[in-house]
Chains A and B, each alone.
Chain A
């Protein structure tokens, strides 16, 4: 038995020779990784890997190639591999980037591509740092909805205009690229850091939340927003394109206009 299916409307006739995607260009790179193996040596050192990669590859693919085909001891974090989970922030050619969102072809492949762990957090192994101080600051700003009164029976209504006030800061994936790019954070790790302020901003300017004043008070600390020197490293580093420095400035303004 055979049934004749109608042709799908999306079908497009291709001319012979068209399609198939063609050859992906390949090139040779040197991946220069800052290694730290606490089991073996006391100090970190640079190690070069010569790899043949393709035009569609990202720095993460190069790290995978090293780990899977050259040296299985190379350690780094990654989960989603598509810029969503925030696990693979690292210093690529001296700038904080997600390895899974950085295409090799966009870097200068004629020179070694340097890959290091993010700065300012305790280094544990290779590209892995202890994220605990980062999350400690995050927890301190109470990143959850706090509302007074009774639970509404319907939705907590919010107008599009009210939502627009903090829409940008809802995009954070907690990758720590911003906080670990901040020279004020590097010094002693005491500064709350851009990521904590971004996530405080997300609730301070949320019309449904009632604990904005508490968060402003927390960030009025000597290690809070006033340590920001508007270096813009954080805005430059954020893989989600969040206007981090602007968010910090808005929190400063909110503290001033509420308490002066």
Chain B
């Protein structure tokens, strides 16, 4: 008696046995540390920012062009806002980089998403820094005290 058994249809499933080449340096370690350290500093910067803008003086109704101009006349607030800009952007960008690494499955998708992320991050950091340092409250028609 002979039995004929059909040949198996299954092929070897492509197993991703091999991890990519070993990474050099400790970038991921530093990124991990940066997230925690910048997070602690951001707590102070963000709540300080919210408090002075919303709780002190006239509160939210006092916020306007003049309010911002007044704040940026002081080097303290220039520094505060600059630190907030850089830390929040780098912290947020690195966080989104992690999210992309965790969720994008294809190499090309990852590369594209991260490329867009880096360009956007650099653009906002550069633009924001320029605004803080080159800000001129005396636009034409300004009614502010120091421009008259």
B132: CB under 8 A from chain A?
Answer: no
* B13 on interface, CB distance cutoff 8 Å: yes
Q: Contact check, B15 vs A122: say whether CB atoms are below 8 A apart.
A: yes
**Contact residues of B between 1 and 55, Cβ < 8 Å to A:** 6, 8-10, 13-20, 22-23, 26-29, 31-33
A180 to chain B, nearest CB (A): 14
Stretch of A56-64, A82-90, A167-175, A220-228 lying at the B interface: A220-228
B10, B29, B32, B105 — most chain A CB neighbours (10 Å): B29
Contact A223 B102 (CB under 8 A): no
Given the known A-B contacts A226-B31, A252-B32, are A187 and B102 also in contact in the complex, defined by CB atoms under 8 Å?
A: yes
Q: Which residue of B8, B14, B15 has the most chain A CB atoms within 10 A of its CB atom? A: B15
B135 to chain A, nearest CB (A): 38
**B65 part of interface (Cβ distance < 8 Å):** no
Say whether B10 contacts A226, CB under 8 Å.
no
CB < 8 Å: which of A38, A130, A137 contacts B8?
A: A38
Number of A residues, CB within 8 Å of B: 33
Interface assignment of A151: CB less than 8 Å from any CB of chain B = no
Q: Considering the chains assembled together, what is the distance between the CA atoms of A204 and B27 in angstroms?
A: 22
Partner of A187, one of B13, B14, B105: B105
A123 in contact with B13 (CB, 8 Å): yes
Cβ contact of B15, chosen from A133, A220, A222, A229, cutoff 8 A: A133
Pairwise interchain contact B33-A223, C-beta atoms closer than 8 A: no
Q: A38-B8, A227-B28 are in contact. Are A221 and B22 (CB under 8 A)?
A: yes
Chain B positions within 8 Å of A133 at CB level? 15-17
Interface status of A143 (Cβ within 8 A of chain B)? no
Shortest CB distance B110–A (Å): 9
Residues in chain B within 8 A of chain A (CB atoms): 6, 8-10, 13-20, 22-23, 26-29, 31-33, 98, 101-105
A to B CB contacts below 8 Å, 26 in the list = A38-B10, A122-B15, A123-B13, A124-B10, A132-B17, A133-B16, A133-B17, A136-B17, A136-B19, A183-B102, A187-B105, A188-B105, A190-B19, A192-B19, A220-B29, A221-B22, A221-B28, A222-B27, A223-B23, A224-B28, A226-B28, A226-B29, A227-B28, A229-B98, A259-B26, A259-B29
